[in-house]
Chain A
Amino acid sequence: MSAPGGPRHENPAGAVDAAHAAWYTVAHTVVHPSEPGWRDQLAARLGQRPRRIGPWAELALHGARRCLDLAGEPTLPAGACLRVASLSAASGATQACIDQCRSGLPMPFSFMQSQPSQLLAALSQHLAWRGDASFTVGRDPAAVRRLAETEAGPQGLLLGWVEEGEDARSEWWRLMPA
């Protein structure tokens, strides 16, 4: 993994894989918001535009969907784990809320979008999946992955690192125990 603030590798997925030999990568994908038309691609893939979620969650959804498509899975198996990490999280929405608070009450959807957990709800909804999902982040991306593997069962793990801002990207791994 190559999150801002964490170790960087030329081949991040491979470098992390070497430290987690008991797991293998079924699919790995990185998407950037600079890619033209990604929102249209996501809407076409989902059959509708995501509603009531912020740009951070939308970018995450795009990466997760693409990763599962790469893995050949229409959705996650029931017993799989979903883990999302981010150092920025939805900082844009949080800043907007604080600004709105200075002149009154924040907009309800802005407030909801400031919570990383809204992404988990959006993923659950769009994947028609119910299961163990969490937002947990640490400075060491390998430790974040190690923790996620520790919690995951035989159905494996969908792990995402999603950042907004200068180094915006949505990087996802579909991982299975060997």
Chain B
Amino acid sequence: MTAPADARLPRMRDVYLAGTGLACALGLDLPASVDALRRGGVRPMPLSVAEGHAWPVYTLPAAPTATPWLDRARDVIQRVALESGALATARTGPLFVASSSHDVGHREQATHFGGDVLEFADRIALWLDWSGPVYAVSTACTSSMNALLSAAALLRQGEADDALVLGVELGNRLTVAGFGAMQLLAPESAEPCGAERKGLVLGEAVAALHLSSTPARWRLAGGANVVDGRDPAGAVADAVEAMCRAALAQSGLRPSDVGLVKPQVSGSPANDAVEVEALRRVFSPLPPMVSFKASIGHALGAAGAAEIALLLACLEAGDGAWPQTDYPMDEALQVVLSPHAPRPLRHLLTSIIGFGGGHTAVVLEDGEGITA
């Protein structure tokens, strides 16, 4: 293997997260989601995909699945984009639609199989009355993280002043059945780094990240994407390490500067252990860690954006809104998921690992954290 390298974010203009939006199992917007988390969260619902094959899924508390798929998608996406504040811009910046499943749910429902990869993204642009360039990003679970890095690169180089990144994973049988066929799903619940973790639980989510060159509280300090194909379906320790080191280098930070890590850990028996081992190579000791997979499930291509939106909302709420661990942790991993938000906090690293050997991380800086 050649040495890892990444230089996605040359230091030019600063890029900020001007606003976020989220619809997930916890709620159809961020205040509702944070409030549900504060009250102990929600449980996944069983979804049957074939006779004798049902798995739990964290589904949106939105219109029932009997609603035409596109109508439900339009309502949720418009709502989340509006919450992010991006619709208050001229809507001429780049729009990135990140997904692993796109509109497969519609194609299943309509028994229609036409169009192309961009058809859904173009439809979303119409729903949002968005006239800027439209891109579809599909790198499985890392999709919205890569979309974030791409959008940030455009803003940093002055190609645009605002951009909207949408992570979209909405209900369909194909994804659940596919992951089920690969024997990657837990039968009951997701237990990241848990002693009895049995796999991941999928989740629906639509997340919006409004990026801007105008200063805001959260600055995107850096990021890195490292693809390592040695394990096309799992984490590679060297790649996790390379991802972290590249993201820190891009941010001009040392490992000890990071006060919180939001890793991928989804409850996979093998991958959680590989990831934690690799994180320990970079961070010694490990900073406080947090996971939302047991709260909203693994939202695949939307996961990166969804978990960033929820994490920042929890940090900003600052009143005990934080995911709690209600299962025994794997003592062999020697990991503690922090029971509360660490204070003070200036820099955090959030990462996603996915199909196709993708390992992607971003580092965010809290402009208010220095005084917290």
Task: Find out whether the CB atom of B150 lies under 8 angstroms from the CB atom of A134.
Answer: yes
Residues in chain A near residue B3, CB distance under 8 A: 78, 130
With A97-B174, A117-B354 known as contacts, the answer to whether A124 contacts B229 (CB < 8 A) is: yes
Per the CB 8 Å criterion, the residue count for chain A at the interface is 61
Residues of B within 8 A of A123 (CB): 229
In the complex, which residues 88-104 of chain A have their Cβ closer than 8 Å to any Cβ of chain B?
88-89, 91, 94-95, 97-98, 101, 103-104
Q: Determine whether the beta carbon of A128 is less than 8 Å from that of B355.
A: no
Task: Determine the distance from Cα of A78 to Cα of B154 in the docked complex, in whole angstroms.
Answer: 22
Residue of B nearest to A165 (CB): B116
Flag whether B49 is at the interface (Cβ < 8 A): yes
Main secondary structure of the interface of A (DSSP, over half): mixed
A116 within 8 A of B: yes
Query: Interface segment, B128-136, B191-199, B304-312?
Result: B128-136
Contacts of B230 in A (CB 8 A): 124-125
* Chain A hits for B113, CB < 8 A: 91, 95, 98
Q: Classify the interface of chain B: helix, strand, loop or mixed.
A: mixed
The answer to whether the Cβ of A108 comes within 8 Å of any Cβ in the partner chain is: yes
From 55 to 106 in chain A, residues with beta carbon under 8 angstroms from any chain B beta carbon are 75-79, 82, 86-89, 91, 94-95, 97-98, 101, 103-106
Among residues 146 to 162 in chain B, which have CB atoms less than 8 Å away from a CB atom of chain A?
A: 146-147, 149-150, 153-154, 157, 159
Are A117 and B358 in touch, CB under 8 angstroms?
A: yes
Q: Quick one: CB contact mask for B109-124 with A, threshold 8 Å, 1 for yes?
A: 0000100111000100
Q: Are A121 and B242 in contact (CB under 8 A)?
A: no
Please report which residues of chain B, range 216-268, place their CB below 8 angstroms from some CB of chain A when the two chains form the complex.
224-230, 232-233, 238-239, 242
B287 at the interface (CB under 8 A from A): no
Chain B residues lying within 8 Å of A131, measured Cβ to Cβ, are 2, 4-6, 226-227
Q: How many residues of B contact A (CB 8 A)?
A: 64
Set A88, A133, A153, A155: member contacting B116, Cβ < 8 A: A88
Is B66 located at the chain interface by the 8 A CB criterion?
no
- The proximity string for A residues 117-150 relative to B, scoring 1 for CB distances below 8 Å and 0 otherwise, is 1111111111011111111111110011011001
**Distance from A119 Cβ to chain B, minimum over Cβ atoms (Å):** 8
> Given the complex, which residues of B lie within 8 Å of A137, measured CB to CB?
117-118, 135-136
Q: A1-27 toward B: CB 8 Å interface, digit per residue (1/0)?
A: 000110000000000000000000000
How far, in angstroms, from A155 to B2 measured CA to CA in the complex? 13
A115 contacts the other chain (CB 8 A)? yes
Cα separation A151 to B5 with both chains bound (whole Å): 13
The answer to whether the Cβ of B85 comes within 8 Å of any Cβ in the partner chain is: no
| Chain A residues within 8 Å of B117, by CB | 86-89, 91, 137
CA A106 to CA B174, docked complex, whole Å: 8
Evaluate contact between B173 and A101: CB separation under 8 angstroms: yes
Q: For residues 163 through 217 of chain B, which have their beta carbon under 8 Å from a beta carbon of chain A?
A: 173-174, 177-182
B50 at the interface (CB under 8 A from A): yes
27 examples of A-B residue contacts, CB within 8 angstroms: A75-B2, A87-B117, A89-B117, A101-B174, A104-B51, A105-B49, A106-B181, A112-B232, A112-B233, A115-B100, A116-B139, A116-B356, A117-B358, A120-B139, A120-B357, A125-B357, A130-B3, A130-B238, A130-B242, A132-B7, A132-B226, A133-B358, A138-B118, A139-B122, A139-B134, A143-B135, A151-B153
* Interchain residue pairs A-B with the least CB separation, the first 10: A117-B356, A124-B229, A111-B178, A125-B229, A121-B229, A121-B232, A153-B7, A79-B5, A133-B227, A87-B116
Residues of A within 8 A of B (CB): 4-5, 52, 75-79, 82, 86-89, 91, 94-95, 97-98, 101, 103-108, 111-112, 114-126, 128-140, 143-144, 146-147, 150-151, 153, 155
